Every structure is written in C-alpha cells, then in structure tokens.
Amino acid sequence: MMDDFTFTVAATDGTARTGAITNPRGTIRTPAFMPVGTAGTVKAMYPEQVRSLGADIVLGNTYHLMLRPGAERVAELGGLHRMMNWPHPILTDSGGFQVMSLSKLRKLDENGVTFQSHIDGRRYSLTPERSLEIQDLLGSDIQMQLDECVRLPCTEAESERAMRLSLRWAERSRQAFGNKPGRAVFGIVQGGEVEAQRIESARALAEMDFHGLAIGGLAVGEPQDVMLRMIETVEPHLPTMKPRYLMGVGTPDDILESVRRGVDMFDCVMPTRAGRHGQAFTRFGKLNLRNARHADDTRPIDEASSCPAARDYSRAYLHHLVKSGEILGMMLLTWVNLAYYQDLMAGIRAAIAEGRFDDFVGETKAGWVKPE
C-alpha cells in the first residue's frame, strides 16, 4: 500500500491527458467518471456491479450523509467504505452544492451555512471546518473544501461575492484538513461566467497547496459553450501536475469536450437518474424506452455490448418494465448507462495514449443518432 496521494500524467494529446491518481485504497485511472453514490449507494446498482464496469472511485454526499444516518454513526460503523462495502477510493463533496440547491432552507454568512433539514426540519450548521470533520468521519479519500455555488446566470457582483467567500472558506478548509497521509483535499474554482473572476480564483487556490483543484459552479443552468469557455479560461492557471475535476458534469458530449480541454475527473447523476426514468445512453445515442416504438422491438439495446443488460434483454421487455414501473427496469437501464459511461472513459484513455483523441471524438459523435 502506498502512503501518499500522487498524480501522474502518462500521456497527452493536445490539452487532453491520461494518467493515474494513486492512494492507499487503489489507483484511479484518468480521465475518470465517478458514479454518484449520494447516500452511500449508487442507486439501483450493487457495489460489485459498479466496480465490474470499470469504476475506480465513487462519490458520496456530505450533506445527505450528515443528515442520515449521521457522520458520527458512519464512523462508529467502521466508515463509509466498510458500511457500503466499497473498499476502493471514495470522494465526498463538501455540501456546498446544497448551499445553492436548498437555498430556501438555509442561511449563509461568513462563518458557514445553517441548514434546515429537508427530512425533519432540524437545523444543522455547516462550516468549512465542520464539513472537513464530517468528511473525515466518513473516511473519504478525496475531500472537498466548502464553497458557495451560485446558479447561472447571475450578476457579476453576485458571482464575485460568492467567489471571494469561497476563497476565504478555502483557506479555512485547507487549514482544517491539515496533513492526512494517503488522503487529499481539493479546492474549488468559482467565479460564475466572468473570466477575470475565474482566473483570480484559480490562481489563489493554486497557491494554497491543495492536492487537486475542481472547477465548480458550472452545469448549473448555463449553455455548454459558456461552460467550455470557462474551462478554457481556467486551465492555463491550474497546476499541471495536479488533477482537475469538473464537478457535476455531465453528458457524454460534455465529457468529451471537457477532456479535450484538460479535465481529468467527472461526476454526474445523469446516467443513474436517466436509467430510473427509462432512458438509455448507448453508442448509438440516447434511447427513450418509454417510447411506443419499442413495444414490439425484439432487438437488444446493443447486441455487441459487454454489458448483459444492454445485450441480453429486448427493447420490448425493457419498454414493458419501464411502462409498468417495475424496479428491474430501473436497475437494468442504470446498468446500461453506467456501462456506457465507463466504456466511454476507457475509450478516451486509450485514444489519448495512442495520440488519436480527436479521431476518437469524431468517431464517437458520428455514431450518435437522433435520440428516440
């Protein structure tokens, strides 16, 4: 077992790069997609399935685990890895996204955020220090600073206020994390869609000795071209030899274009959420299994897929499960989607290593047909 958290770049193709993050719990091949396990589970999947698809790391949610079952209880049960039977790396977010998404249930000031639980109405305080304490109790391998994420579009004054507050919280988060061998803490770049703010945030965070830097506050309502422009703006100011994590992204197209601009890590609820709502991501594009055209279709989703759910069940059967609200339909389509995402990441890594990433992007997009 290694005692340290390390990141190496094995190959580059333009700005795109492939490499590996190593820590005592394993190696994370990059670019990496992290399935989201909000409450200690990747919804509708067994941990063994998630691992078998090629996932090296999953994400847990500090806010939701703080509320239920409680960070102290998770620690008493042996930590999140043991509780959810996932002995591999885990990244936990800081709760910062809920500062935005649950804005009607919180009060924010310089010290932190006071939440009203959406479960039982109890009030909780989340400061940069408490967020890191909770993540430490959970036992996560990669921890995130507490930040304030604002929904786009917003005024320049609002994004600047949130960016500067996030920088002050970053300093407190870095100090609270201290030195934990084998674990890491990431800072989060904010600044809305204002280039100067993004650059200022990235430069300040780069000086704070974080183990990696995330780009936050994107995929929150802005068009894709704005998101990509912000990545292009920030990338030159991020340390070359530290991982770059684009939070909450995204569609397969978002991932391809973000990798092209130098991003190493992604997470998104999209593949699991889509699976629970009857949609499948495939190499042919996105399929809506609710559509009546699938009712008599005996073909599988993809007969060449390595995923049994995509290969061994007919579209007609999946359509029936979805329309009937059967849990099996949600499980099978989630399996299909996570398999596609992990296959996409494997293809990306191989293409970068072979110096043919642009060709891979073109071939992949050419395979997508009009969604059904």
359 assigned ligand-binding residue: no
Place of tokens 């008493």: 76
147 assigned ligand-binding residue: yes
97 assigned ligand-binding residue: yes
173 assigned ligand-binding residue: no
96 assigned ligand-binding residue: yes
Q: Kindly report the CA angle at 147 between 145 and 151, in degrees rounded to 5?
A: 145
Helical spans, DSSP H, in 77-155: 80-83, 96-101, 128-138
Catalytic residue among 13, 93, 254, 302: 93
SS3 state at 185:
strand
Q: Tokens in use for 138?
A: 């959970």
362 assigned ligand-binding residue: no
Please say if 302 is a catalytic residue: no
Please say if 93 is a catalytic residue: yes
The helix or strand, by DSSP H or E, that contains position 339, with its residue range, turns out to be helix 327-353
Catalytic residue among 141, 254, 264, 267: 267
The helix or strand, by DSSP H or E, that contains position 22, with its residue range, turns out to be strand 16-23
Cα torsion through 280, 281, 283, 289, rounded to 10: 20
Per 3-state DSSP, what percentage of the chain is helix, strand, and coil (rounded to 5)? 45, 20, 35
221 assigned ligand-binding residue: no
275 assigned ligand-binding residue: no
Residues at the binding site are 93-97, 147, 190, 217
Residues at the binding site for substrate are 93-97, 147, 190, 217
The residues that are catalytic are: 93, 267
